[in-house]
Amino acid sequence: MQQNFSLGLVSLLLTTQFFTLPSQAQSSPTVACRQELAQDINTIINRPQFKRSRWGIAIQNLATQEAIYSLESDKFFIPASTVKLLTTAAALNELGADFRITTPIYATGKLPHLETVRIQGNADPTITSEILKNIVQQFKVLGISSIKKLIIDDSYLAQPVINPTWEWVDTYYYYATAVNSVILNQNTVRLTLVPGQIGQPVKLKWNDAVASQQWQVFNQAITTASDNEYSIEIDGVLGKPILNIRGDLPQDNQGDEWDLAIVDPANYFLETFRNLLSAEGITVTEGIVTTESIESTNERIITQMYSPPLKELIVEINQDSNNLYAEVLLKVLAKELKINDEMEALETSLNKLGINTDNYSLIDASGLSRQNLITPNSLVKVLSILADDPTYNIYQNSLSLAGSNGTLKHRLRNTELQNNLWGKTGSLSGVITLSGYVKLTNQNTLALSILVNNFDDKNKIVRQAMDEIILLLPKFKNCL
């Protein structure tokens, strides 16, 4: 009996092992591997310096659509500039990669003395002084010698031109400049503070005389000895074209550059173009800006300006995080879709892509507003949907490439992920974000979104922690 019992027990054990071991061999290593990844990520985000911070993370395998790691991924976070991923996805899907913004120039009267010249602004953010110089040369070739009335038509976009949810202190600077129909030099001007004699006011140098005339400047900044600390501050008065400059500028400073928003963009466009015409001997009797739409059966197009194609515009938006371009693009999208509200146009376009409006609440196109809210899963879903779209290569290549270009140029260099992470970063005070694609050496591609809110440490510390998390992914590639 004893012998038979033992043989039966061995048989039972062998039978149990036969049925259970293969299943464990297939699942346990993967489960354990992912548990270890989760533990390593949690160790990073639970460091003492992040005890007040709020982290939202979503990581997904694009091939299997499987969630690799998730932390509060269905909760709302302030996304900062990762909003641009949605703006550019919607525009690319609706307008197409080759879409261009056209700025026609109309005229009435007979050469060489024209009655009117009207520039119909359609919100092209790429027009520069150099482009206007080329237009003046075209005028000369056409034989134009005088213009009775030069009209800058700023009626395409509705007023107001600055998002009311932006912090007013931001609106003095280049990254929060006005969005209007006639944009020149991105509606920005550079002011450089140059040291003078010790104890004397600093000197002001503008890179554009026309733009500088729009400001009333109160300069109380003083040049100090070279061993003194830098303490320059520039601010303004809400709703007024006033700049207050205060603080100390050490004498060995090579030039303190500030990129500021143009106060009145349409008049800046008018006066700049008028000056360029005058410099080439083309006289202008009267120049005006209009915000009322003009229709005339007597006008004819004499030339046009064209923006680069959309596939190039979204590179500027996603790699260099250009707020002006993003805001313009969404407003143009609304116009093209014949929808009065640009946020409604964004929702309409994202719905077509399969992005549910319950998972985001957006106020602007650029991410500058603190009222924007989105879930990490929504950003991953956008990335996932675009990965299966014919425009994927264009979309992916519009993103910053780690260690190579854009806002990720100096991150993850000399690591496995240099040139293998395409992403969009975001930054506001207390907010650091990153969303994008990670390509692993096993050919798997992951979509990820890391949103950090409410931190009280230096931005650099949070970015380093983010990079540590991303660098864990190649280590666990065989189980992802």
* pLDDT tens readout for residues 103-121: 999 999 999 999 999 999 9
Q: Is residue 287 part of a domain?
A: yes
77 and 141 within one domain: no
State pLDDT tens for residues 354-405: 998 999 999 999 999 999 999 999 999 999 999 999 999 999 999 999 999 9
Mean pLDDT of 466-479: 94
State pLDDT tens for residues 146-176: 999 999 999 999 877 789 999 988 999 999 9
Q: Which residue has the higher pLDDT, 45 or 16?
A: 45
Nearest partner of 474 among 419, 435, 392, judged by Cα: 419
Instruction: Confirm whether pTM is higher than 0.85.
Output: yes
Which tokens belong to 450?
Answer: 């890391």
* pLDDT computed for residue 319 by the predictor: 98
Q: Is residue 210 part of a domain?
A: no
pLDDT at 95 over 50: yes
Q: Is residue 166 part of a domain?
A: no
Q: Is residue 392 part of a domain?
A: yes
314 and 286 within one domain: no
Mean pLDDT of 310-329: 98
Domain holding 147, by residue range, is 102-160+267-300
450 and 319 within one domain: yes
State pLDDT tens for residues 20-78: 334 443 446 778 888 999 999 999 999 999 999 999 999 999 999 999 999 999 999 99
Q: Is residue 194 part of a domain?
A: no
Mean pLDDT of 179-203: 97
Q: What is the CATH number of the domain that holds 340?
A: 3.40.710.10
pLDDT at 295 over 80: no
432 and 289 within one domain: no
Q: Is residue 339 part of a domain?
A: yes
Which tokens belong to 268?
Answer: 């800046």
State pLDDT tens for residues 232-245: 999 888 778 899 99
State pLDDT tens for residues 412-455: 999 999 999 999 999 999 999 999 999 998 889 999 999 999 99
Nearest partner of 268 among 154, 134, 386, 103, judged by Cα: 154
286 and 319 within one domain: no
377 and 440 within one domain: yes
* pLDDT computed for residue 31 by the predictor: 83
Number of domains in the chain: 2
Q: Is residue 239 part of a domain?
A: no
* pLDDT computed for residue 296 by the predictor: 75
pLDDT at 457 over 90: no
